[in-house]
Structure 1
C-alpha cells in the first residue's frame, strides 16, 4: 500500500505492508512478555535474598536499587505493550484505507 504525503511530504510515498507491521507488533509483544518473565524471575531471586539474613547498609542500598529497577523495567514493559497494540491498530487502519482507495479507484468511470 502507498500513501502520498500532504504538503510537507509532497512527492514522497509511504509504503506499508500491514502484515509486516503486525509481525513487528507481535515481536514487540513477545519482547515485552520476555522482559516481564525475566523481571519476575529475578524478583523471586532478589526476594529470597532480601528476606534472608542479609541486612545492613549494603542490603538497604541494594533493595532501593532493585525497587528502582523493578519500577523502570515495568515502565519499559508497559510502553512496549502499548507500542505492540498501536502497531496492530495502525496495520488495520492502513488496510481499511487501502480498501477504501481501491473501491474509489474501481468506481471510476473510464471509457
Structure 2
C-alpha cells in the first residue's frame, strides 16, 4: 500500500494558483466580450451573423464553466488544506496529552 503525503501549504499554493487562473480567465473573457461586440456591432445581420452568434454563445458558456471549475477546485483545495492542517494539529494535541 502506498503512503499518502499531503503538505497543506502546497495545497494552499495550488488553490491560490487555481483562483488566480480563474480570475485572469474571467477578466480576459470580459475583455473579449467587449472586443467582439465592438468589432461586430449591431450592424452585422443575416444568417452568418446568426450562425456566429450561436457558436459564440456556446463557446462563451463553455469558457464560463471552465472559470467555475477553476474556482471550485480552488475552494476545494483550500478546504482540504484546512482540514489536513486541523487533523494534524488535533493529532498533535492528542499525542501531547497522552503522556507519551
State the structure with bigger RCO (CA 8 A, min sep 6), 1 or 2: 2
Q: Which of 70, 74, 95 does residue 64 from structure 2 map onto?
A: 74
- Give 1:4's aligned residue: none
CA separation in 2, counterparts of 1:108 and 1:26? 37
Q: TM-score, normalised by structure 1?
A: 0.82
Residues of 1 paired with 2:86 and 2:18: CA distance? 23
TM-score between both structures, scaled by the size of structure 2: 0.90
Q: Which has the larger radius of gyration?
A: 1
| Aligned residues: CA RMSD | 1.4
Flag as ranges the 4+ runs of structure 1 deviating above 4 A: none
State the aligned residue count. Answer: 100
For structure 1, the 5+ residue unaligned runs are 1-10
Partner of 1:42: 32
Name the structure 1 match of 2:18: 28
